[in-house]
């Protein structure tokens, strides 16, 4: 067992003059303040990676910059699943006794720190260097391919995907730190610029500057906390040309293992934080995990099932699609929001049902690496 004793993030969007280390520092200090800790209390540090600061030793670079001398430091890379994988690693480390208070932090000036073309080229390298990259696909193209197959097999429509975009924007309107806060309609999504058929501009998350941080501790420290009671991973492939299926991925297996470790069932979950780099990502994950029937996630969103006052509140900060996506820190904002909801500290966004248990799920690559976390409010 471990406890998330502090959490914080920056506003996401355009942060002129803020580089990776500055964004990480801002988020880290917010998390420390939230936990009531000082830098000397941190004996473990886990960071992700940054495409705008591709240093081979980012964890110790940040430790030096921020004034930490940890007993344990580690930087990891698992694509979009990195943030949750970092928390899982911190959870296991404090359980083992390797550290007492681990700072998990990520940040990147992905919007202002590189050109659009550089960002596209860098992220496209997730593809196979021989069979995919030379053909020129971008990340949206890979997901568009998956979307076409998935929609064909399960009857999901473009309008259904649009409902998920509308929901995330509606949630973001209530969060002052969100990058995109102008409401949109299904018609707006459908009329937005084509990016990679069937995905349109408003089916895609924005590129952001931002940072997020969490403190994972062995003890609850006497303040409000949630604890990690389940964590698991599943990895089915790396490259889309090697994927065993374009409609079934590792989300179901990863979630099942995390729920089994937590000794609860999916029906016990009161809040969901699910990765949403594209609307199709969110749809597939919701449906594969079992939070929506196959092909029905858009209908449930339209019917209010995932609203703040619905049966299963989802990504109430606006998710990657509207709060923003700054690389590793993107999914970590999901966890910050989940903790706020579980501790009834979400203000105007506070959900109406009790959120004593939350499920978080992230994927990396093209639905290739999956990490699931189950959180419980500490009493």
Pick from 278, 360, 291, 362: nearest CA to 300 = 291
In a domain, 270, yes or no: no
Give me the sign of the Cα torsion angle 208, 12, 344, 167. Answer: negative
Q: For 237-252, what is the mean pLDDT?
A: 96
Which pLDDT belongs to residue 225? 85
Which pLDDT belongs to residue 222? 85
Does the pLDDT at position 189 exceed 80?
A: yes
What is the spatial distance between Cα 168 and Cα 87, in angstroms, rounded to a whole number?
24
In a domain, 94, yes or no: yes
Does the pLDDT at position 223 exceed 90?
A: no
Pick from 91, 49, 12: nearest CA to 334 = 12
In a domain, 89, yes or no: yes
210: left (phi over 0), alpha (psi -120 to 50) or beta: left
For 87-129, what is each residue's pLDDT tens digit?
999 999 999 999 999 999 999 999 999 988 888 888 888 999 9
Q: For 280-290, what is the mean pLDDT?
A: 98
Which pLDDT belongs to residue 376? 98
CB 341, CB 316: distance < 8 Å: yes
Q: For 182-208, what is the mean pLDDT?
A: 98
DSSP readout, 149-189?
Answer: HHHHHH---HHHHHHHHHHHHHHHTT-TT-S--S---HHHH
Instruction: Please list the alpha-helical segments (H only) found in the chain.
Output: 20-35, 58-66, 82-96, 116-124, 139-154, 158-172, 186-191, 251-262, 279-289, 297-302, 319-322, 328-342
Residue 85 domain boundaries: 2-113+208-217
Burial 166-183 (b: 16+ CB within 10 A, else e): bbbbbbbbbbebbbbbee
For 328-338, what is each residue's pLDDT tens digit?
999 999 999 99
The half-sphere exposure of 284 on its side-chain side, counting CA atoms within 13 A, is 30
What is the spatial distance between Cα 91 and Cα 338, in angstroms, rounded to a whole number?
17
pTM score, whole prediction: 0.97
Query: In the chain, what is the straight-line distance between the N-terminal and C-terminal CA atoms, in Å?
Result: 14
In a domain, 310, yes or no: no
Phi, psi of 228 (to 5 degrees): -85, 120
Which pLDDT belongs to residue 239? 96
CB 189, CB 165: distance < 8 Å: yes
Q: Collapse the DSSP code of 23 into the 3-class scheme (helix H, G, I; strand E, B; otherwise coil) and give the result.
A: helix
CATH of the domain at 105: 3.40.47.10
No. of helices (H) and no. of strands (E), the chain: 12, 11
In a domain, 75, yes or no: yes
Does the pLDDT at position 247 exceed 90?
A: yes
Residue with tokens 């590189």: 114
User: Mean of the per-residue pLDDT values for the chain?
Assistant: 97
Q: Please state whether beta strands 101-109 and 44-47 pair in parallel, antiparallel, or not at all (unpaired).
A: parallel
Q: For residue 231, list its beta bridge partners.
A: 373
Domain count for the chain, please give it.
Answer: 1
In a domain, 240, yes or no: no
In a domain, 80, yes or no: yes
What is the spatial distance between Cα 316 and Cα 364, in angstroms, rounded to a whole number?
21
In a domain, 261, yes or no: no
Which pLDDT belongs to residue 327? 96
Q: Please state whether beta strands 209-217 and 194-196 pair in parallel, antiparallel, or not at all (unpaired).
A: unpaired
What is the spatial distance between Cα 198 and Cα 140, in angstroms, rounded to a whole number?
10
Which pLDDT belongs to residue 324? 98
């Amino acid at each position: 067992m471990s406890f998330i004793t502090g959490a914080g993030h920056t506003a996401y969007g355009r942060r002129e003059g803020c580089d990776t280390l500055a964004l990480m520092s801002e988020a880290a200090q917010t998390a420390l303040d939230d936990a009531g800790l000082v830098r000397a209390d941190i004996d473990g540090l886990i960071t992700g990676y940054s495409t705008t600061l591709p240093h081979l030793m980012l964890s110790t670079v940040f430790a030096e910059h921020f004034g930490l001398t940890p007993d344990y430091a580690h930087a990891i890379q698992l694509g979009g699943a990195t943030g949750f994988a970092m928390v899982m690693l911190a959870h296991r480390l404090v359980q083992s006794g390797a550290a007492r208070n681990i700072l998990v932090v990520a940040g990147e000036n992905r919007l202002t720190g590189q050109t659009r073309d550089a960002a596209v080229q860098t992220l496209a390298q997730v593809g196979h260097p021989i069979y995919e990259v030379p053909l020129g696909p971008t990340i949206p193209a890979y997901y568009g391919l998956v979307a076409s197959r998935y929609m064909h097999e399960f009857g999901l429509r473009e309008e259904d995907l649009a409902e998920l975009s509308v929901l995330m924007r509606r949630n973001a309107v209530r969060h002052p730190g969100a990058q995109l806060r102008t409401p949109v309609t299904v018609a707006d999504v459908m009329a937005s610029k084509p990016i990679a058929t069937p995905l349109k501009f408003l089916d895609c998350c924005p590129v952001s500057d931002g940072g997020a941080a969490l403190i994972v501790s062995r003890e609850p420290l006497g303040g409000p906390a949630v604890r990690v009671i389940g964590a698991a991973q599943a990895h089915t492939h790396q490259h889309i040309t090697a994927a065993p299926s374009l409609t079934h991925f590792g989300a179901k297996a990863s979630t099942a293992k995390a729920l089994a470790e937590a000794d609860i069932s999916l029906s016990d979950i009161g809040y969901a934080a699910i990765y949403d780099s594209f609307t199709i990502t969110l749809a597939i994950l919701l449906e594969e995990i079992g939070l929506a029937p196959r092909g029905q996630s858009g209908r449930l969103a339209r019917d209010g099932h995932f609203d703040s006052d619905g049966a299963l509140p989802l990504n109430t900060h606006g998710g990657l699609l509207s709060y923003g996506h700054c690389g590793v820190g993107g999914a970590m904002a999901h966890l910050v929001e989940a903790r706020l909801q579980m501790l009834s500290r979400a203000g105007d966004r506070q959900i109406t049902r009790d959120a004593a248990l939350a499920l978080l799920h992230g994927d990396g690559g093209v639905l290739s690496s999956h990490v699931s976390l189950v959180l419980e409010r500490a009493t």
